[in-house]
């Protein structure tokens, strides 16, 4: 079995993995690194998801990289645009040459005696067979996202086998699905559902969004008029960062307002829905959630496309539980039956830690549910390993960029002092473990018990605040008394 060594091993060639490679190139130029990608393409999420209308629910001035200005007029970009942006970044910086496709990490074992990780990788050959290879590294940088790529979440609906039409999950969208002129039911009320409904309604006979309970939905222009104006009069980088900071600050303000005055924000959001759908629409039933704003993520609809589709009666919303699938569609808990030719189960993701790989430290299997999350990127008593995890209340890339910067600071600090190992360790008995995510969303609640915990105080506390993280990660001490070096 072949074995090779690199200084830093990056796992994942999506939005985060390309950022990690860029920062290593520019801030740790002496480090030899490789990127492992289990699939056969760059892009991660933006290559995996192929459902109609796939797009970001964050603006590209904050979802885009800090080092590569977004210059397209559309601020709310679709999936192919984002994928091209990630690919262009990789190509422009020569990062694509470091990617090894069809390399799926199965397990990683740390040896303190050797101060290195041994990573077991399943590699698919050109002949279609698989073989195991070993790669050792001094630092393991996990950029594999937060959900299971193999399959999304699908509840055990009664009678699914009875349905005579087609059932599809957005995470595994079939290329041959023809829904033109057909009746479609989309089960779900989250970001995927509100994206699918207006996109499929362009050609379907009718699309019904079937939800058990409503979600807060806000409309936002697909193009940012001020950003486009600034780009015409200012250098691209300056215009980009001005709009980026405007959007960051507004997002922070809106989130804090939601926490302090939830009823005010609730009425503001519902007022926008009422203006879009008219005074006679039953907003109380279909667009008024039982929870406060930002207890779950808000759903963004660019240019109010979902509302427009509903007004034009090309789509409708039904709020009810599902009793069972039938041969012709769905029987609801209130006795109604929805007829359908195609049913799309936009029922969510399955969260997992570090891509689901097995991690060992000196022969001990790591149970991440019993670890504390250090600064939102490392784990207590797990050496030389970091993971990029974004914000729940803002764009993913904001935290990703800061994490990559911090890892580079950490590596350079270790080199300057001759250290080979760094490991966050908690010896403060007053630190209380808390759930890492406070969202009430189903996909979070299904997995929260298995996720690493946050602590009740810094540096174990996750504040979900970009400004505080800039202070901590960009300017805070690397040797903070909690990180142990050897």
Q: In what order do the strands lie in the sheet with 337-339?
A: 322-325, 329-332, 337-339
Which residues are CB-neighbours of 200 under 8 A, at least 6 positions away? 52, 53, 179, 184, 186, 207, 344
Q: pLDDT tens digit string along 370-416?
A: 999 999 999 999 999 999 988 888 888 999 999 999 999 999 999 99
Indicate if the pLDDT at residue 2 is higher than 70. Answer: no
**Interval 78-99 mean pLDDT:** 96
Indicate if the pLDDT at residue 228 is higher than 70. Answer: yes
Pairing of strands 315-319, 206-211: parallel
Which residues are CB-neighbours of 307 under 8 A, at least 6 positions away? 219, 273, 276, 277, 301
Indicate if the pLDDT at residue 244 is higher than 70. Answer: yes
My answer on whether 337 and 190 are in the same domain is: yes
Which residues are CB-neighbours of 390 under 8 A, at least 6 positions away? 396, 397, 398, 399, 400
Q: pLDDT tens digit string along 173-222?
A: 999 999 999 999 999 999 999 999 999 999 999 999 999 999 999 999 99
Report the candidate in 161, 159, 123, 145 with the shortest Cα–Cα distance to residue 40.
123
Domain termination site, one of 345, 363, 385 = 345
My answer on whether 113 and 174 are in the same domain is: no
My answer on whether 182 and 137 are in the same domain is: no
Report the candidate in 315, 219, 197, 336 with the shortest Cα–Cα distance to residue 270.
219
pLDDT computed for residue 261 by the predictor: 95
Indicate if the pLDDT at residue 146 is higher than 90. Answer: no
My answer on whether 129 and 170 are in the same domain is: no
Domain membership flag for residue 154: no
Q: What are phi and psi of 34, to 5 degrees?
A: -140, 155
Residues of the chain with pLDDT > 70: what percent?
99
> At 109, which CATH number?
3.50.50.60
Report the candidate in 211, 217, 190, 213 with the shortest Cα–Cα distance to residue 338.
211
Q: Which structural domain range is residue 300 located in?
A: 161-345
Domain termination site, one of 292, 313, 345 = 345
Indicate if the pLDDT at residue 125 is higher than 90. Answer: no
My answer on whether 337 and 196 are in the same domain is: yes
Domain membership flag for residue 156: no
The whole-angstrom separation of Cα 441 and Cα 151 is 18
Indicate if the pLDDT at residue 442 is higher than 80. Answer: no
**Tally of domains within the chain:** 2
Alpha carbon separation from 229 to 66, 92, 225, 236, 464 (Å, rounded): 20, 27, 6, 11, 31
**Average pLDDT of the chain, as a whole number:** 93
My answer on whether 412 and 445 are in the same domain is: yes
DSSP secondary structure string for all residues of 349-411: --B-SGGG-EEEETTEEP-GGGSBEETTTEETT-TTEEE----SSS-HHHHHHHHHHHHHHHH
Counted residue by residue, the chain has a size of 486
**Interval 343-349 mean pLDDT:** 93
């Amino acid at each position: 079995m072949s074995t090779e060594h690199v200084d830093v091993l990056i796992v994942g060639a999506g939005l985060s993995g390309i950022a990690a490679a860029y920062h290593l190139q520019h801030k740790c130029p002496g480090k030899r690194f490789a990127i492992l990608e289990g699939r056969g393409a760059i892009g991660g999420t933006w290559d995996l998801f192929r459902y109609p209308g796939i797009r970001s629910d964050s603006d590209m001035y904050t979802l885009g990289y800090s080092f590569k200005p977004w210059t397209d007029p559309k601020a709310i970009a679709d999936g192919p645009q984002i994928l091209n942006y990630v690919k262009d970044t990789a190509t422009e910086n020569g990062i694509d040459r470091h990617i090894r496709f069809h390399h799926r990490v199965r397990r990683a074992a740390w040896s303190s005696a050797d101060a290195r990780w041994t990573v077991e990788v399943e590699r698919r050959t050109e002949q279609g067979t698989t073989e195991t290879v070993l790669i050792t590294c001094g630092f393991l940088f996990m950029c594999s996202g937060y959900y299971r790529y193999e399959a999304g979440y699908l509840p055990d609906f009664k009678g699914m086998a009875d349905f005579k039409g087609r059932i599809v999950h957005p995470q595994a969208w079939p290329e041959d699905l023809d829904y033109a002129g057909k009746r479609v039911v989309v089960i779900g009320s989250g970001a995927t559902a509100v994206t699918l409904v207006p996109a499929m309604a362009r050609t379907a006979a009718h699309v019904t969004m079937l939800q058990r309970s409503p979600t807060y939905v806000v409309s936002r222009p697909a193009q940012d008029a001020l950003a486009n104006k600034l780009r015409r009069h200012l250098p691209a980088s300056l215009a980009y960062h001005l709009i980026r900071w405007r959007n960051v600050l507004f997002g922070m303000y809106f989130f804090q307002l939601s926490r302090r005055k939830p009823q005010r924000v609730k009425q503001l959001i519902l007022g926008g829905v009422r203006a879009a759908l008219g005074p006679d629409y039953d907003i109380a039933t279909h667009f008024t959630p039982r929870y406060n704003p930002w207890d779950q993520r808000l759903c963004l609809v660019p240019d109010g496309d979902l509302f427009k589709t509903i007004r034009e009666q090309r789509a409708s919303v039904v709020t009810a539980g599902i009793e069972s699938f039938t041969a012709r569609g769905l029987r609801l808990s209130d006795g109604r039956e929805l007829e359908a030719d195609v049913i799309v189960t936009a029922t969510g993701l399955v969260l997992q830690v570090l891509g689901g790989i097995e991690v060992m430290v000196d022969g001990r299997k790591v149970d991440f549910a019993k670890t504390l999350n250090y600064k939102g990127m490392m784990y207590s008593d797990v050496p030389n390993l970091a993971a990029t995890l974004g914000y729940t209340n803002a764009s993913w890339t904001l935290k990703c960029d800061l994490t990559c910067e911090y890892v580079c600071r950490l590596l350079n600090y270790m080199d300057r002092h001759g250290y080979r190992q760094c490991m966050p360790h908690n010896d403060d008995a007053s630190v209380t473990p808390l759930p890492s995510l406070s969202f009430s969303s189903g996909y979070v609640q299904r997995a929260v018990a298995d996720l690493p915990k946050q602590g009740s105080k810094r540096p174990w506390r996750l504040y979900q605040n970009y400004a505080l993280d800039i202070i901590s990660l960009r300017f805070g001490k690397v040797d903070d008394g909690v990180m142990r070096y050897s």
